[in-house]
Chain A
Amino acid sequence: MKPHELIITEAAAALEKREVSSAELTQSYLDRVEELNPTLNAYLTVTKEVALEAAKASDDRKERKGPLDGIPLAVKDNFMVAGSRTTAGSKILDDFIAVEDATSIARLKEAGAVILGKTILDEFAMGSSTEHSAYGPAKNPWDTSRVPGGSSGGSAVAVSSDLAAGALGSDTGGSIRQPAGFTSVVGLKPTYGAVSRYGVIALASSLDCPGPFGKTVADTRLIFEAIAGQDPRDATSIDLLTADSRQLTAGLKGKKIGVPKEYFGQGLDKSVGETVKEAIKKLAELGAEIIEVTLPHSQYALAVYYIIQPAEASSNLARYDGIKYGHSIEKKGHTGDLMEVYLKSRGEGFGDETKRRIMLGTYTLSAGYYEAYYKKALQVRTLVVQDFTNAFEKVDYLVSPTSPTVPFKFGEKEDDPLSMYLADVYTVAINVAGIPAVSIPCGFVEDLPVGMQIIGRHKDDYGVLGVAELYEQATEWHKKGPVL
């Protein structure tokens, strides 16, 4: 077995016994990146020297800091890594060099992890395919004519193709779970606030959740444990429930799992639906009681999302003004006035989808429309949250497909914003409600991956991972990788 084929738990054991060094492990990934990245475009920036230096430091340590010490990971390019170019997939940050580490990055470094580089994303994490990246899309390793999902597509591809042992992504409306499902890896969207947003380039601040990708649930949990926890630099960050929900020692016996009927209706690809229903049967075999539930406001969650998300994004993206940092016509020795600096720097620097959402958000927040759109969306958000609260009075977890279809072809939805937005129909409500959910491999339709989403109560991230792990141990899907 080649070093890059090891999962994190295996690599950690091999490092512990000194059967392999972090330098060898890191070099093995770097060689594979050099070979495959031209085809897959998972990485936007590879920080080879920094990675090898961190690997050497790990090898030189007499005592290992923990399971992630010396483990090579990939990071979505909207996390600030001090000294590294950080673009958020946008031309407006083309030459931006981060001056400090995001909290998650600082915590990974503290755990001894090796950062290989920065991965491709849709511009400012807005998209479901990486086609909105200013640096080209990442390719799905299961079929390179198809999208890997987005926005954290590069991180998902890196993990599924053995270009990194694990990765970080961010999930505002499905951006970790959907690409995880599309590439057959595990991706966790934590409870809102469980992972600090400090140093992650802001998209929609009430929805953004940084989180991990791994090849197995155990690997995903290891990365999550390293980055989770309250952070003084993010006032919305929290500590999670711990011990009691961490282990499902009695298995799924006595646990109630809800199947929301709205997530199996119109728009769901038939084969994807059947695949997920098979997986639910497996959960029943493992002892869970399966109960049909209803989330009556599901059909409105996507509309709520597409008001709140662009509104918050339009406000967050106001900081790119051509003055403090980023693309600016000032650099060309421009002689016009201040208004022109704003208009032209932003007009040139932002891509199509970013402009579309800034326009949408500015419109719904503008005088005369605020009440009709934005306030209305916040009220319906309350109802979406209540749906989940009500469901969790009857059941412990909810399951659904992660996405309504298998990975789609490049270009299929690119010119139709609304059909692209529908790719997130089963994931956005989870962000609107702020609860945790994981996507886990649950089968294939014509050799294309299908993901199952497991949703839990607020702060029950470890419970969600526990259910996913029991399913994983009873199936073989996670052992299958793409042929490259």
Chain B
Amino acid sequence: MAKITHKDVEHVAKLARLGLSDKEIEKFQSELSKVLDYVEQLNKVDTKNIQPTAQVTGLTNVFREDEVKKSDITLDELLKNAPAKEGRYLKVKAVLKENK
């Protein structure tokens, strides 16, 4: 049985940058435990010397020329969906803190 604590859920929510309410944290604690219990049946499968499969395209290393191609989309069009902007730029809250 996967034991997920309240603290685990808080930690994962922070990693995922998800602001959750206390009620949600409680709910996910029990729901995630149930789903993890289910997927843990994979431990019954012997995977010694089995290579992992990450993709099923049958392709390896698709290359193309590294050339600049002009897009029909204008900067204005792209910025239309931005929640906050200044001039030609997306506006973002300060990433670095000032040293005082």
A303 near B50: Cβ-Cβ < 8 Å = no
A residues near B15, Cβ cutoff 8 Å: 362, 366
CA distance A232 to B41 in the complex (A): 40
How many A-B residue pairs have C-beta atoms within 8 angstroms? Tell me: 171
Give the contacting residue for A192; candidates B17, B31, B56; CB below 8 A: B56
A359 near B57: Cβ-Cβ < 8 Å = no
The residue in chain A whose Cβ has the minimal distance to the Cβ of B37 is A418
Give the contacting residue for B56; candidates A324, A328, A344, A385; CB below 8 A: A385
A350 near B58: Cβ-Cβ < 8 Å = no
A236 near B59: Cβ-Cβ < 8 Å = yes
If A324-B82, A338-B95, A417-B35 touch, whether A343 touches B55 (CB-CB below 8 Å) is: no
CB distance from B29 to the nearest CB of A (A): 10
CB distance from B27 to the nearest CB of A (A): 9
CB distance from B80 to the nearest CB of A (A): 7
A325 near B31: Cβ-Cβ < 8 Å = no
Majority SS at the chain B contact face? loop
Of A297, A336, A348, A373, most B-chain CB atoms within 10 Å: A373
B residues near A328, Cβ cutoff 8 Å: 83-84
CA distance A206 to B9 in the complex (A): 27
Within 8 Å of chain B (Cβ to Cβ): is A478?
no
A99 near B84: Cβ-Cβ < 8 Å = no
CB distance from A436 to the nearest CB of B (A): 12
Encoded as 1 (CB less than 8 Å from any B CB) or 0, chain A from 300 to 333 comes to 1001101100000010001001111111101100
B residues near A326, Cβ cutoff 8 Å: 81, 83
Query: Which residues does B use to contact A, with CB under 8 Å?
Result: 4, 8-9, 12-13, 15-21, 24, 28, 31-32, 34-36, 38-43, 45, 47, 50-59, 62, 64, 72-73, 77-78, 80-84, 90-95
Residue pairs across A and B with Cβ atoms less than 8 A apart, 14 shown, are A97-B81, A99-B73, A192-B57, A193-B59, A328-B84, A330-B91, A356-B32, A358-B18, A359-B9, A359-B12, A359-B28, A381-B52, A383-B45, A434-B57
- A sample of 13 more A-B contacts (CB under 8 A), given A300-B45, A318-B17, A347-B19, is A95-B81, A327-B83, A338-B93, A342-B19, A346-B19, A355-B20, A359-B16, A359-B18, A373-B36, A377-B39, A380-B42, A380-B47, A383-B45
